Structures are given as structure tokens and as C-alpha cells.
Amino acid sequence: MQRSLPPPGQALFSGFCAAFRAVMTDPQPSSDAPAPLSSAKALAVEDWLVVILMALLALITFANVLVRYFTDASFAWTEEISVFLMIVLAMVGGSSAVARDQHIRIEFFSGQGSVQRRRRLARLGALMVALLFTVLAVLSVRLVWDDWRYEETSPGIGVPQWWYSIWLPVCSIAIALRALGLFVRQGRPGAFAPEIVTDADEQEAQP
């Protein structure tokens, strides 16, 4: 009986293709976005890192599938490396989302009111994100130091644990810097367009 590619392999391959298409095409701002807050060239670092990480995940998973198919065994190191790559992928994606100002929010609060009110809320949110990841970077540096000082090793393949944990403060600092950059850009004139009321909105507002 012929075996098919398991769902994890299909999901990783589909994610890699989607990320590759996102990098090769220009980012399209949403319809309600006032203005692009960061250029595509400035976001190329995160975009290409996402593609590279997804490609590595796909290759590792595909190699493990082939080994299981032909030998009924598997690579012992694939799970540990895959988990590490997925964590870094989430952090890099978070940095890209901060730079693009596309993190989840409650639009009932963030999209209502005057331009000044929306600007203040947006800048407060960016400042809180920068503060959060600055604290996370400081605390994770202590974690990396402990891993290095006590010579902790990973449970799967026995490499030094700080090889993995070092990327937590690095990515946290990157997100904090992206949030500070967003805070500065949101304070510039023209960063927020006045709210446009259409005829459909007026009809919905009428009783």
C-alpha cells in the first residue's frame, strides 16, 4: 500500500510556500490602514528569516519522513531542532508584526475617536510592547548566563543549552527596537488619517 505524506509535512510545506510568496510580493496595506509605517526594504530581514526558518523546518521534517518511510526509524534530533526553530520563527514573526503594526487589537477602542485619541492609544501600545520585551530581554539574559555558567545541556542531543536560549534575548531586543521605531513613526504628522465616514456608515447610523 502506498504511503502519503503525513499532515505535519504537508502543513510545513504549505507554510513555506505561503511565506515565500509573501516575501516575493510587495506587502499590501489593509484598507483601513492610514499610511504605511515601514518600508518593505526595512522589513526584508524579518521576511527572509521567516523564509529560511520555514525552509529548514520543511527540510528537517521531509528528511525525517523519508527516513521513516524507508527504514522504519527516525532522526532523534529532529524534534529538538524543530521546536527551537518554531520558537525563533514565532519571535521573528512577532518582530515583523510589530514593525507593520499588525498585532491583534480591539478595534472598538483603537479605531474610534479623534485622530489625537487614536494616536495616543497606538503610541501607548507600542511603548508597552517595547517595555515588555525589554524586561523579557533582561530576564532572559540571566537565563542564558545560568545555562552557560552551569554548563546545561539540551535533553535531546546534548548540545549546550545556551545555544538555544541565547536567541530569546536577541529576538526580544529586536522586537523592542521595532516597537520603539513604531512609537516614533506614529508620532510623525500624517501617520494617522482622519476617519472617513461613508454613505453606508451614515445609513447604518440612522435608526
More confident residue, 139 or 37: 139
The model's pLDDT over 119-153, given as tens digits with 9 standing for 90+, comes to 888 899 999 999 999 999 999 999 999 999 999 99
**57 pLDDT exceeds 90?**
yes
Express each pLDDT in 172-195 by its tens digit: 999 999 999 999 998 887 766 554
Residue 135: CA count within 13 A, CB half-sphere: 5
Q: Cα(129)–Cα(116) distance, rounded to whole angstroms?
A: 20
Global pTM value: 0.70
**Residue ranges per structural domain of the chain:** 7-194
Exposed/middle/buried for 118, CB within 10 Å: 0-12, 13-18, 19+? buried
Task: Report pLDDT digits (tens) over 90-112.
Answer: 999 999 999 888 887 777 676 77
Query: What b/e readout covers 46-55, taking b as 16+ CB neighbours within 10 angstroms?
Result: bbebbbebbe
Query: CA 194 to CA 67: how far, in whole Å?
Result: 58
User: What backbone phi and psi angles, to 5 degrees, belong to 205?
Assistant: -75, -25
